[in-house]
Chain A
Amino acid sequence: MTDLPPPSKKKLGLVIDLDTCVGCHACAVSCKEWNAGGFAAPLTDEQPYGKDPAGVWFNRVHSYEVAPTQGCASSPTPQPAMTLHFPRSCLHCETPACVTVCPTGASYKRAEDGIVLVDEDKCIGCKLCSWACPYGAREYSEVEGVMKKCTLCIDRIYNENLAEAERQPACVQACPTRARHFGDLGDPESKVSRLVAERGGVDLLPQLGYQPVNKYLPPRPRRTGEAATAAPQDETLDTAALPPMLRWLDRVLSR
């Protein structure tokens, strides 16, 4: 049923730290690898070895350049320019429009843990859910004719055949800088909820009202002041201050 379940107590999701993400795409690759054989398998490609390969990915890592600021809504203090690596995936929203627009009941939000899934045996491939998602979380498989999306690795996180430490989404497991955290965001005392509170985690596009469960931790403020923001000066050498040996060398090499 595409009716949304009553809000669940447990809200499983990811917290992504934009401060430590280095844009290595390990999350995207490990996600592709695991999900090619997992619950949402296969994760199909078109012309995977051809000239113009394309395919379904649940994670996509964007890189942006952020201009310096003298202070704004998200950075009250002056900030220098920086690179921002931004992994984008399903946010498992509290009120996901992708679920309610589905005409067949193939899209659903799980009542027990809030994970948003697609039942690929019911999907008719009308693509309406992908239109309803502003985050681009859903990708259509041309090969299979059905819609695909992040499953939060439900086949890992509850998998008793895996060691307990490995019962987390593939992207979290793979991240070399520990920029991705998995946990219950419905529990204010959980590690992820405390992390969000401590670092001021944000919702993406909150004005749309989809109430994403996943949170993003904005980059920590960079050092400010002269040293951080001023452009490097032209190099000058005060030869009078040099020891005699170096002063002689400088004179010889300057000829």
Chain B
Amino acid sequence: MHPAFSVIAFTTLSGAGYGLLLWAGGLILLPALQGRAPANGATVLLWGVLLVLGLVLTTAGLLSSMLHLGKPGRAWRAFSQWRTSWLSREGVFAVATALVVVAMLALLGVGIAGALPTGLWIAMPALAAIMVLLSLCTIASTAMIYASLKPIPAWRHPLVLPGYFVFAILTGWLVLMALVNWSALSDETLGVILLVTFALAIVAGVLKLVYWHRIDRQPLGATRADAVGLPGREVDVFERPNTQANYINKEMGHVLARKHARPLRFIALVLFAAVPMVASWLAWANPELAGPVFTLGALLALAGTLVERWLFFAQARHLVTLYY
């Protein structure tokens, strides 16, 4: 499949954004679930920063996805077909999530100004729970756009949906770390961060390695003979229907990445799995470096996710290529 850069950037950025919102939701919900009082001013400020950054990342992703449309001015129509279309559902969930985040930011703003009655602080964890649910639905819808396409077996693979969740949670976590590590954290906290980063990076790395291993050995599920209605016969291309490339060749017949798959997979794996592990270890060993190290690590991991998404597109074979 042809990897359109706007779509790759969109799934990477919005994945990190929704992952960040998931972690922000967790940070807001945790004290409420433990029955603790609303946190102090600095924590409330951190909530605000996380929500704003999550909103910026997800919105940037969605705007980027509009760049690949032929008629971006009509994009509002894409909210209408949520009953059958995962793309439409993704749009509806994304807008719903954004509205909840805006409501939470408004509540925070009023709360920080001191005008909020204490009773209304109850609304914050409730909204956070809704935001977490909607973020999960949005990530799932993004994955299902691909996982529901029968002509592309590599996208139908059962690891595609968990993959989108794992990458959202990993990149969201790294963005969160890039923010919080600029303030001095205790050694104990840095130890926990080290463990969580290692766990997420290893899960993401193993999941991707298994996925790549499987799709390399997965048959296309049909032969050229099936495609022309002569199952069992040996059918070779004698003459193509067109002398110049057409839309089908350009969009579905992308072969560049399959040729360079091995080095690109290695680069992706180093950037999204090894780099965060090294960063968290460096931060744990030298706490004064934690801020810059995690910021650089998060940026490199996002770049690695971009490469991984590019491979996800470019390596997927579409059944229509059987005809060519």
Query: How many angstroms from the CA of A231 to the CA of B66 in the assembled complex?
Result: 60
**Chain B interface main SS type:** loop
B81 CB within 8 Å of chain A: yes
Whether A67 pairs with B247 at a CB distance below 8 angstroms is no
Whether A66 pairs with B234 at a CB distance below 8 angstroms is yes
| Nearest residue, chain B, Cβ from A144 | B70
Whether B246 pairs with A126 at a CB distance below 8 angstroms is no
A195 CB within 8 Å of chain B: no
Whether A75 pairs with B77 at a CB distance below 8 angstroms is no
| Nearest residue, chain A, Cβ from B245 | A54
Q: Given that A88-B323, A105-B77, A146-B70 are contacting pairs, would A216 and B152 also be in contact in the complex, using a CB cutoff of 8 Å?
A: no
Chain B 236-261, CB-CB to A under 8 Å as 1, else 0, gives: 11111110111110011000000000
Q: Which residues of A200-232 have CB atoms within 8 Å of chain B's CB atoms? A: 202-205, 207-209, 216, 218
Give the segment of B25-33, B54-62, B82-90, B192-200 that binds chain A: B82-90
| Nearest residue, chain B, Cβ from A217 | B229
Which of A56, A72, A103 is most buried by chain B, counting CB atoms within 10 A of its CB? A103
B216 CB within 8 Å of chain A: no
| Nearest residue, chain A, Cβ from B324 | A62
Classify chain A's interface size.
35 or more
Whether A127 pairs with B71 at a CB distance below 8 angstroms is no
Query: How many angstroms from the CA of A123 to the CA of B71 in the assembled complex?
Result: 7
A233 CB within 8 Å of chain B: no
Query: How many angstroms from the CA of A57 to the CA of B231 in the assembled complex?
Result: 27
Q: A residues touching B (Cβ–Cβ < 8 Å)?
A: 1-3, 18, 23, 25, 28, 52-57, 60-67, 69, 72-75, 79, 83-84, 86, 88, 97, 99-106, 122-128, 130-136, 139-142, 144-147, 202-205, 207-209, 216, 218
Q: B residues touching A (Cβ–Cβ < 8 Å)?
A: 1, 68-72, 74-75, 77-81, 83-88, 91, 145, 148-152, 221-222, 224-242, 244-248, 251-252, 318-320, 323-324
A-B contact pairs, 10 of them (CB 8 A): A2-B85, A61-B241, A122-B77, A124-B69, A126-B70, A132-B150, A136-B323, A146-B70, A204-B227, A208-B151
